[in-house]
């Protein structure tokens, strides 16, 4: 049952079914718990910036705890679509552009939701979605067609799903899109052969909202009855809101078009998940109003949300060490349409969050600043003039500049300005594709007006996707990427702004310079004409650099780190050891995410110019060094061919280690594939 929430409501519905149906089979209550239930955590793309599976697991475990206390058994998360196109609004729900990072974080989120035992009433069943290829919608338009090769399917799209299956994901959700001309709901290859066959998945697959019914609009089925026939044969076990199964499955069985064994398999899979949740033992164990009252939005949950939010912040620029704000600063302007917004930080897909319940940037700054610090606040302008709703169209303010004067005045009388701008919280999410990912409305005009009187500006970005901000990068001395951080957003931002927490986040998606670069991602295939760059006839733009504004894996710290002594020991080809020395060369303790990439120089299929294959998050005191070791095995060194077969090939490999996908040390080694396998 969907969208019935709360301990009392679920208890009443469960009793009605169990006590009045022929078999008394308990309901399973499902809801979109994407980044928290009542206590909101950062949107998943923001959490991915932590590059920390334990942080992601913590977030999911608190979301599961609160959801279970509210009578829920099942969440439609995590979304593990590898997203390369920032125009697609649902990138906010995923872990970014890289299949390796997405695999690790998606598996961590599954473990967070489900814990060690699904029968534990503090856990809920996860749902790996969207299976598969949804994020590759052409032009970044939601629900659009998808055209992908087998190599892309197996090497980019499927790895996070396979990792989540290994982590024990209880359920799967298929996707709206077609895969090589066949709607995912009717795709027996990915659902029956791969998922349930090769991967050994024994849970159930649910369709996305009416995705079986939408097969008719796709032109893949002539009517809803045939859509039901195709979907059940392909391995779609449950029809979400399509009415295809309830209306036609019995009829299809009677006509001999669907074998009862197929129905039995689907039913068995659904019942198995209910059994693992402990619902047959006690169908009411999740519905306890006292437990709900004591669990939702607790101090402990909010403390966890603040911790996760801090870890998700990325320092994009800090020219002249503008941050952290020191004790000598006695006046701070807090300006912007999002500066005192208590609703926007909650983000989209906010489950049962209370509107306007987040800690705003202004509140966080006031709480953290010393008593002798003057805070000068001005909104400057509205970002949107329409009502803020999940399904409503957004209208941006493009005319009302009446608040500019107050904002300029606040900036003039302050030593430093915190300017909170970015996206509206419902600007990213499902159905929120954009052709232009620049800042909307009057925000850039507001920045220019403030910059003219006080250039000491710290940009506090709030957004659910990468945004194109080359003008801000050119002028603003400091930029903080804060995403939509959830309930404790303002406190977490203040912790970073004043130096109580040294930022360590790294971008999980590339930030483009302009819309024209999209899709842009670090692990692209090289062309036959990658250079030289002083000629016309090579793969480039004539009006802009190929380089992104901020590369994948990028993120600064209040300290500095140096990498040296990169070595590769390939004496044991089954476990190649890569070592590097990391040193904190700055003045304060900091945390760095050391990233390892490889490149297969020559292969039977062209390979990406680099691929992430390892990372370590390390905290070092000022002046401290640490030798880091990474191990490369068959799992990291191979790839899938066009038939979906995994293979490791002989040849030279580059191995690269550094602070992001661009700034890297490089060594090479020779791999003998036969010795690896």
Q: What is the CATH architecture assignment of 310-517?
A: 3-Layer(aba) Sandwich (3.40)
SS3 626: strand
Tokens 């020395």 appear where? 581
**What class has domain 7-293?**
alpha beta
pLDDT of residue 532: 73
pLDDT given at position 673: 72
In sign, the C-alpha dihedral spanning 422, 424, 430, 435 is: negative
pLDDT tens-digit series, residues 162-213: 999 999 999 999 999 999 899 999 999 999 999 999 999 999 999 999 999 9
Q: Tell me how far apart the alpha carbons of residues 116 and 167 are, in angstroms, rounded to a whole number.
A: 10
What value does the mean pLDDT of the chain take? 97
Are 357 and 419 spatial neighbours (Cβ–Cβ below 8 Å)? no
Alpha-carbon dihedral angle through residues 8, 13, 14, 15, given to the nearest 10 degrees: 90
Q: Is 208 a catalytic residue?
A: yes
User: H-type helices in 402-538, by residue range?
Assistant: 404-412, 443-453, 470-475, 489-497
- The three-state secondary structure class of 41 is coil
| Coil vs helix vs strand at 154 | helix
157 closest CA partner among 63, 82, 264, 49: 82
Please, which residues have CB within 8 angstroms of residue 20's CB and are 6 or more apart in sequence? none
Let me know: does 445 contact 471? Beta carbons within 8 Å.
Answer: no
E-state strands within 200-344: 204-206, 314-318, 331-335
3-state SS string over 164-213? HHHCCCCEEEECCCEECCEEHHHCHHHHHHHHHHHCCCCCEEECCCCCCC
Pairing of strands 74-75, 590-600: unpaired
List C-alpha distances in Å: 310 to 97, 144, 338, 426, 564. 22, 35, 18, 22, 29
Burial group, residue 621, by CB count within 10 angstroms (0-12, 13-18, 19+)? exposed
Note whether 47 and 308 are within 8 A (CB).
Answer: yes
Beta pairing class for 576-584 and 590-600:
unpaired
Among 208, 237, 352, 495, the one annotated catalytic: 208
The pLDDT of residue 531 is: 77
Please name the fold of domain 561-676.
Answer: Immunoglobulin-like (2.60.40)
pLDDT for the residue numbered 676: 66
Three-state secondary structure call for residue 581: strand
Each residue's pLDDT tens digit, 434-490 = 999 999 999 999 999 999 999 999 999 999 999 999 999 999 999 999 999 999 999
Domain boundaries, the chain: 7-293, 310-517, 561-676
Instruction: Say whether 617 sits in a helix, a strand or coil.
Output: strand
Do 110 and 169 touch, CB atoms closer than 8 A?
yes
- Residue 388 pLDDT: 87
Angle of helix 260-276 relative to helix 224-234, nearest 10 degrees?
70
pLDDT at 677: 64
Q: Which ranges of the chain have pLDDT less than 70?
A: 675-677
Q: Are 76 and 84 in contact (CB under 8 A)?
A: no
């Amino acid at each position: 049952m969907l969208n019935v929430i709360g301990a009392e409501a679920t208890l009443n519905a469960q009793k009605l079914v169990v006590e009045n149906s022929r078999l008394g089979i308990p309901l399973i209550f499902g809801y979109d718990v994407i980044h928290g239930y009542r206590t909101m955590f950062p949107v998943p793309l923001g959490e991915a910036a932590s590059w920390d599976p334990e942080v992601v697991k913590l977030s999911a475990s608190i979301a599961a705890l609160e959801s279970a206390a509210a009578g829920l058994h099942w969440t439609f998360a995590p979304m593990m679509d590898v997203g390369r196109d920032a125009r697609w609004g649902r990138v906010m729900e995923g872990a970014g552009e890289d299949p390796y990072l997405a695999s690790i974080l998606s598996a961590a989120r599954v473990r967070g939701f489900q814990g060690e035992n699904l029968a534990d009433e503090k856990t809920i069943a996860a749902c790996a979605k969207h299976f598969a290829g949804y994020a590759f919608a052409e032009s970044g338009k939601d629900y659009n067609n998808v055209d992908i090769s087998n190599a892309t399917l197996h090497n980019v799209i499927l790895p996070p799903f396979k990792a989540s299956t290994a982590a024990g994901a209880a359920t799967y959700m298929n996707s709206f899109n077609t895969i090589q001309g066949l709607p995912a709901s009717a795709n027996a290859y990915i659902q029956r052969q791969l998922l349930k066959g090769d991967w050994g998945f024994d849970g159930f697959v649910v369709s996305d909202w009416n995705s079986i019914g939408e097969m008719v609009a796709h032109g893949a089925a002539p009517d809803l009855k045939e859509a039901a026939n195709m979907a059940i044969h392909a391995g779609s076990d449950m029809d979400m809101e399509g009415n295809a199964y309830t209306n036609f499955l019995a009829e299809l069985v009677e006509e001999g078009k669907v074998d009862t064994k197929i129905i039995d398999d689907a039913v068995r899979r659904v019942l198995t998940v209910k059994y693992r949740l402990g619902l047959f033992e006690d169908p009411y164990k999740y519905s306890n109003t006292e437990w709900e009252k004591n669990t939702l939005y607790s101090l402990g949950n909010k403390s966890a949300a603040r911790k996760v939010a801090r870890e998700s912040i990325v320092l994009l620029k800090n020219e002249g060490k503008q941050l952290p704000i020191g004790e000598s600063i006695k006046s701070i302007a807090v300006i912007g349409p999002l500066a005192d917004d208590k609703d926007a930080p909650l983000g989209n897909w906010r489950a049962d969050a209370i509107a306007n319940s987040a800690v705003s940037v202004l509140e966080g700054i006031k709480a953290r600043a010393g008593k002798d610090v003057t805070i000068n606040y001005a909104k400057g302008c509205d970002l949107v003039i329409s009502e803020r709703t999940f399904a409503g169209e957004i209208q941006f303010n493009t005319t009302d500049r009446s608040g500019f004067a107050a904002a300029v005045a606040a900036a003039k009388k302050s030593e430093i300005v915190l300017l909170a701008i970015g996206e509206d919280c419902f600007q990213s999410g499902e159905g929120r594709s954009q052709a232009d990912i620049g800042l909307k409305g009057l925000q850039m005009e507001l920045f220019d007006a403030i910059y003219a009187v006080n250039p000491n500006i710290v940009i506090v970005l709030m957004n659910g996707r990468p945004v194109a901000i080359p003008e801000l990068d050119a002028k603003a001395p400091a930029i903080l990427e804060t995403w939509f951080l959830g309930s404790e957003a303002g406190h977490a931002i203040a912790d970073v702004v004043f130096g109580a927490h040294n930022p360590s986040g790294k971008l999980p998606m590339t930030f483009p310079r302009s819309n024209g670069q999209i899709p842009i991602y670090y692990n692209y295939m090289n062309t036959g004409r990658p250079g030289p760059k002083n000629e016309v006839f090579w793969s480039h733009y004539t009006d802009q650099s190929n380089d992104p504004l901020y590369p994948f894996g990028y993120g600064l710290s209040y300290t500095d780190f140096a990498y040296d002594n990169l070595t590769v020991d390939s004496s044991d080809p089954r476990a190649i050891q890569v070592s590097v020395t990391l040193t904190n060369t700055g003045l304060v303790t900091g945390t760095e995410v050391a990233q390892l990439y490889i490149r297969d120089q020559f292969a039977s299929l062209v390979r990406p110019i680099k691929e992430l294959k390892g990372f370590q998050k390390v905290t070092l005191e000022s002046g401290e060094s640490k030798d880091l070791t990474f191990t490369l095995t068959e799992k990291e060194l191979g790839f899938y061919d066009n038939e979906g077969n995994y293979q490791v090939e002989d040849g030279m490999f580059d191995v690269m280690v550094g602070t992001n996908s661009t700034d890297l040390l490089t060594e090479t080694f020779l791999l003998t594939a036969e010795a690896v396998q």
